């Protein structure tokens, strides 16, 4: 099984090193193509206004001077001309990707890019709290969660979004397959200041996000100490609205 790994925290991120170790237990054909520097929050952006370079960092290890989407796109075009990866795994992100935050996530979007290319795609993120071994739950549970997924025929044009709760591995209560939750949009902090030239600036923060803890969501599962597994689809169509809208435009 050929596995391509990527992330949005950059080629030197500890979460990627951990994922490389875990993928190495599952296959001896593991490749890495990840952004050269951190790209968290870049979503599904594709670099159009600058050239992008592909640097060989080691055997089957490449860094891209661009976004997570650039990395997956370039890897599939330039690294695998004959035998494409059997699966693309993105992560393990330093921080959760839950609820509607997935639309900002470079980690999830890298997996989306692979799904668009017709490949099975999985995103892994570790929710963080406190200090110590922040990736303990992912370290203990990632292979356990990945093995059954890799044995499945995953639906085309979908991404499996997995989050690990912020606790030691032996405190994780199990795995829940759940739907995507949503956050209160009055979210995070906004720092306001004045730059050295006297111009005002704003800086988005991520702290103090209020969670809307609906039953059966990824947010609830992580809050309860479970690994959350959520299938996402690339097709964003809201099918229930098609009839109403079509009627509004009927002649």
Closest CA to 27 of 126, 118, 115, 150: 150
Q: Is 83 exposed, middle or buried (0-12, 13-18, 19+ CB in 10 A)?
A: exposed
Minimum distance between the CB of residue 167 and Mn ion, rounded to whole angstroms?
20
Using the minimum distance from each CB to Mn ion, give the nearer residue, 118 or 162: 162
CA–chain centroid gap for 44, Å, is 10
In contact, 23 and 55? CB cutoff 8 Å: no
Using the minimum distance from each CB to Mn ion, give the nearer residue, 40 or 71: 40
| DSSP states along 164-214 | E-SS-GGG---EEE-B--EE-SS-S-EEEEE-TTS-EEEEE--TTPPEE--
What is the C-alpha separation between 10 and 16, in angstroms, rounded? 8
Minimum distance between the CB of residue 91 and Mn ion, rounded to whole angstroms?
9
Residue 125 CB neighbours (<10 A): 29
Minimum distance between the CB of residue 12 and Mn ion, rounded to whole angstroms?
13
Using the minimum distance from each CB to Mn ion, give the nearer residue, 40 or 230: 40
Using the minimum distance from each CB to Mn ion, give the nearer residue, 40 or 228: 40
- CB nearest Mn ion: which residue? 40
What is the C-alpha separation between 92 and 135, in angstroms, rounded? 9
Minimum distance between the CB of residue 80 and Mn ion, rounded to whole angstroms?
24
Using the minimum distance from each CB to Mn ion, give the nearer residue, 13 or 30: 13
Using the minimum distance from each CB to Mn ion, give the nearer residue, 40 or 126: 40
Q: What is the DSSP letter of 197?
A: T
Minimum distance between the CB of residue 193 and Mn ion, rounded to whole angstroms?
24
Minimum distance between the CB of residue 38 and Mn ion, rounded to whole angstroms?
7
Footprint of Mn ion (CB under 5 A): 8-9, 40, 93
């Amino acid at each position: 099984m050929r596995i391509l790994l990527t992330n949005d925290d950059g080629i030197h991120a500890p979460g990627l090193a951990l994922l490389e170790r875990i993928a190495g237990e599952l296959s001896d054909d593991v490749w890495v193509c990840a952004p050269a520097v951190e790209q968290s929050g870049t979503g599904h952006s594709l670099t159009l206004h600058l050239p992008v370079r592909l640097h060989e960092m080691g055997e089957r290890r490449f860094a891209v001077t661009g976004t997570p989407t650039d990395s997956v796109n370039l890897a599939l075009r330039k690294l695998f001309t004959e035998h494409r990866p059997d699966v693309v795994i993105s992560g393990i992100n330093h921080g959760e990707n839950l609820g509607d935050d997935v639309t900002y996530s470079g980690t999830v979007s890298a997996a989306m890019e692979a799904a668009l290319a017709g490949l099975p795609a999985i995103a892994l993120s570790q929710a963080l709290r406190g200090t110590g071994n922040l990736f303990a739950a992912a370290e203990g549970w990632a292979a356990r969660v990945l093995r059954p997924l890799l044995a499945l025929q995953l639906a085309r044009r979908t991404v499996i979004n997995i989050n690990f709760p912020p606790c030691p591995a032996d405190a994780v209560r199990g795995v829940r397959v759940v739907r995507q939750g949503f956050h209160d949009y009055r979210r995070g902090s906004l720092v306001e200041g004045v730059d050295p030239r006297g111009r005002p600036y704003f800086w988005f923060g991520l702290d103090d996000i209020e969670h809307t803890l609906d039953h059966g969501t990824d947010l609830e599962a992580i809050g309860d100490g479970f690994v959350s597994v959520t299938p996402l689809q690339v097709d964003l169509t809201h099918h229930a609205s098609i009839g109403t809208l079509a009627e509004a435009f009927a002649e």
